[in-house]
Copies of this chain bind each other. A is one copy, B any other.
Amino acid sequence: MGSSSRILIIGAAGYIGRHVAKASLALGHPTFLLIRDSTASAKPDKAQLLDSFKTAGANLIGGSLEDHASLVEAVKKVDIVISTVGGEEIASQFNIIKAIKEVGTIQRFLPSEFGNDVDNSHAVEPAKSVFELKAKVRRAIEAEGIPYTYVSSNCFAGYFLPTLAQPGLTAPPRDKVVILGDGNAKAVYVNEEDIGVFTIKAVDDPRTLNKTLYLRLPANTLSFNEVVSLWEKKIDKTLEKVYIPDEQVLTLIAETPFPGNIGIAIGHSIFVKGDQTNFEIGPDGVEASQLYPDVKYTTVAEYLSKFV
Contact = CB atoms under 8 A, between A and B. Distances in A.
Interface of A: 13-16, 42-46, 86-89, 124-126, 129-130, 156, 159, 166-169, 247, 250-251, 254-263, 266
B43 A89 contact: no
A86 B169 CA distance: 27
B254 A13 contact: yes
A43 B251 contact: yes
A10 to B, nearest CB: 14
A159 to B, nearest CB: 6
A85 B86 CA distance: 23
Given A14-B254, A257-B15, A88 B169 contact: no
A263 B259 contact: yes
Nearest to A168: B168
B259 A43 contact: no
A89 B15 CA distance: 25
A125 B86 contact: yes
A114 to B, nearest CB: 9
Nearest to A45: B251
Contacts of A168: 166-169
A87 B254 contact: no
A45 B167 CA distance: 24
Nearest to A156: B257
Contacts of A89: 125-126, 129
B254 A126 contact: no
A250 B42 contact: yes
B44 A247 contact: yes
A260 B263 contact: yes
Nearest to A43: B250
Given A16-B257, A42-B124, A42-B250, 20 more contacts: A14-B254, A15-B254, A15-B257, A15-B258, A15-B261, A43-B251, A44-B247, A45-B254, A46-B254, A86-B257, A86-B258, A86-B261, A87-B126, A87-B258, A88-B126, A88-B130, A89-B125, A89-B126, A167-B167, A168-B168
A88 B258 contact: yes
A162 to B, nearest CB: 12
